[in-house]
Copies of this chain bind each other. A is one copy, B any other.
Amino acid sequence: MSFPRLARDLADVGRRFYERGWVLGTSGNFSAVASARPLTLCITPSAAHKGKLKAADFLPIDDAGRVRGRTRGKPSAETLLHLEIVRARGAGAVLHTHSVWATMLSDRHLADGGLAIEGFEMLKGLEGVSSHQHREWVPIVPNDQDMTRLSALVRDVLRKDTAAHAFLISGHGLYTWGRTIAEAERHVEILEFLFEVVGRSADLRT
């Protein structure tokens, strides 16, 4: 798919996520692979309003996170994490969101190193999962403002938890991905749904 088409599709994702309150206050960032060799990522600019993205706002970056060609604009601060995921998983699209339930669960389960979700039909929306009996382990990495350090942590998690469809950063939010933008968006919807179920169920147990 062409760069403008990917940018337009990611802008549409932004509008839907903004309406659900998953990318408030310019939070979150999105990318898609526009070219595999040499690697070019179509990525959201830094600090943009995610409900009002236009295709022209998106930036082409190379495999070191530098803006290709033109110099206008600054890519998302978390560009390096997108590149780690593309490299480790061969993802075609990476989506990062900040929801209330993901923020809460990522804090509450940080000490456990992750969160297990099991027994729900919705798990079948995750690529390759064929039964509700699947146990999805969502690793949680501690938050860090040093992107080099955080990238290294993420790289380790992606290597160790090879079956994971996503990871959380504590007090921060969700990263998930897919072969296509549609698959990555489906993963966000599935995981946010399950976070709400798990979060509300914990309310009941206490």
**Chain A positions near chain B (C-beta within 8 angstroms):** 20-21, 24-27, 49, 98, 100, 103-104, 107-108, 119-122, 125, 130-133, 143, 145, 169, 171-173, 182, 186-187, 189-190, 192-193, 196-197, 199-206
Contact = CB atoms under 8 A, between A and B. Distances in A.
B203 A24 contact: no
5 contacts: A24-B190, A26-B186, A100-B197, A103-B122, A104-B204
Contacts of A172: 120-121, 132
A39 B112 CA distance: 53
A108 B172 CA distance: 25
Contacts of A26: 125, 186
A120 to B, nearest CB: 5
A121 B143 contact: yes
